[in-house]
A and B are shown apart, each in its own frame.
Chain A
Amino acid sequence: MLNSFFTTCRQFGFQLELLFDTLGHLPSLWKRRAMIADQLFVGGVQVVHVVLLVGLFAGMILALQTGLYLAQLGQQDQIGTLVALSMAREMGPFITGIILAATAGSALAAELGTMSVSDELAALEVLSVDRVDFLVLPRLVALAIACPLLTVLCDLIGVVGGGLVASAQLSVELELYFKSAIQALQDPGSLIPLPKDVYAGLLKSFVFGILIAIISCSAGMHARGGALGVGQATRQAVRDSIIAIIVSNYFLTWLLYQN
């Protein structure tokens, strides 16, 4: 028990150190642009269809669950408001984060884990190639960009899905549904002159992208012991990323909406 506590503390310490180390390499962004584009394709473009499918059904479920209750109260015209706010504030960033943790995060941990157990990371060190600059920076930047972009898609398709259910099953006019959805997202924030629910959700997903990248890179770089070690690193990356997404989501919500 105590051992596992100290192991967790060590991992957290390494992740924190890796994060600051990576941020210190931000001046290399231009040099790494090709690798960032590659990672954006692997981590972002290749999961678009998953995000669209999950986002669509999430929006449909939200509309159905809230719609059935609101219909009892005669408030069906509020479905658009509820779906839009739920998707923008919570569901969009959360769903996208979980999907990226399970796809890009696990792939990232497996890739770096395989490099670790096959001496490729040691080879980079021997060749005086900075592993953080060469491996971690492009992956972190790509996920930090991909996560908010995918969240926008998830939000949009979720609202569309909710509209389909509202129209087909709850007899709400599509025009009314989308009007209430758009109105719900027009509340300007105090920080920047953009709809607060939109930028709050995007800020969350930006943080989730960074967390997934750092946790997965850290797990992969510490993989030892062949295929078994790579499997453990991958499992650890997905598990820890999901925990980090949920915990950080609470604190970000508290920070952004406490007033």
Chain B
Amino acid sequence: MDAQGDHRTATADSAPARSGADDRQKDHEGDREVVIRFDKVSKRFGSKVVLDKLDLVVYRGETLVLMGPSGTGKSVTLRHVIGLMKADSGRVTVQGHDMATISRKDLAELRRHMGYLFQDSALINWLNVRDNVALPLRENTDLSEAEILERVEQKLELVHLPGILEKMPSELSGGMRKRVGLARALITDPKLILYDEPNAGLDPEISASINQLIRDVRTQLDITSVVISHLVSCVKTVADRVVLLEEGKVVLEGPRDEFLASDHPRLVRFLGDSKD
């Protein structure tokens, strides 16, 4: 449960840089493979320190939930993982790739094995649902239109949204947009998926269905997930492990049940009355 400890037992740090994705030395802690590692990562915007020597690991197959007050660097953390931001100092490694030195080609290849659900879904507003979900396949693969359509329909069924192929994003509710965003994130069958506040702006019923969907996706597709959420209900449904961030640092982390049972004053203050 202690935060900021040095967890590493074996790393890829000493390995010489390699170009391919498959020949990278895998990063392990004991018998668990580390998919994402933040090693004393700092990031600031102007004078505001957003990440402050952050240490964090995500293991293969687990669902990690990042909690914390607004502005503590949760979204910034995810953006470092997907390569939308670069650390000012420290090191971020994702599936053995150093995100500071990764080539554009390797980054594009790495992203094909990752999914990202944006807070506002970020659907392309002038494309209908079919074209939004099909976009990564049309742009990056040689699949035929029939194969692409089959996959699109399959993913839309997975997120419980069959029969809305022709709808435009503006015709969808908030919950539907999240589901379409998730279908698009899953279309390339990623090994790692990042959820940036999947419950934001949703009513409790829809929010619960999104939580259930995240759990189903993990169970059915056996993928690693990182979820940003403020909700205990989300933690209870999807999390294997939980991390509480504050001012760019981990203040508390642990397995879900231990985390929720903790009487750490910062956690008690953050959750307030919503712990149950």
Contact = CB atoms under 8 A, between A and B. Distances in A.
Interface string A53-86: 0000000000000000000000000000000000
A253 interface: no
B122 A128 contact: no
Contact of A123 (B108, B114, B122): B122
Nearest to B196: A119
A230 to B, nearest CB: 13
A127 B114 CA distance: 9
B74 to A, nearest CB: 15
Contact of A129 (B82, B84, B139): B139
Contacts of A123: 116, 118, 122-124
A243 B125 CA distance: 31
B151 interface: no
B25 interface: no
A187 interface: no
Interface residues of B, number: 19
**Interface residue SS majority, chain A:** helix
16 contacts: A115-B125, A118-B122, A118-B125, A119-B120, A119-B122, A122-B84, A123-B124, A124-B124, A125-B84, A126-B116, A127-B139, A128-B112, A128-B136, A128-B139, A128-B140, A134-B139
A120 interface: yes
B79 to A, nearest CB: 8
Contacts of A125: 84
B26 interface: no
B256 to A, nearest CB: 27
A130 interface: yes
Interface in B123-166: 123-125, 135-136, 139-140
Contact of B184 (A118, A127, A130, A134): A127
A122 B118 contact: yes
Contacts of A122: 84, 118, 122
B119 interface: yes
Interface in A170-217: none
Contacts of A127: 111, 135-136, 139, 184
A137 B108 CA distance: 20
Nearest to A133: B139
A119 B136 contact: no
Residue in A122, A127, A130 with the greatest tally of chain B CB atoms within 10 Å: A127
Contacts of B139: 127-130, 134
Given A114-B125, A118-B125, A124-B124, 15 more contacts: A115-B124, A119-B118, A119-B119, A119-B120, A119-B122, A120-B123, A120-B125, A122-B122, A126-B111, A126-B114, A127-B135, A128-B108, A128-B136, A129-B139, A129-B140
Contacts of B140: 128-129
Contacts of A115: 124-125
Given A127-B136, A127-B184, A134-B139, A120 B108 contact: no
Contacts of B84: 122, 125-126
Interface of B: 82, 84, 108, 111-112, 114, 116, 118-120, 122-125, 135-136, 139-140, 184
Interface residues of A, number: 15
Interface in A99-129: 114-115, 118-120, 122-129
A120 B118 CA distance: 9
Nearest to B107: A128
A119 B122 CA distance: 5
Contacts of B120: 118-119
B174 to A, nearest CB: 14
Contacts of A126: 82, 84, 111, 114, 116
B141 to A, nearest CB: 11
B198 to A, nearest CB: 14
A120 B124 contact: yes
A129 B119 contact: no
A130 B135 CA distance: 11
Nearest to A121: B122
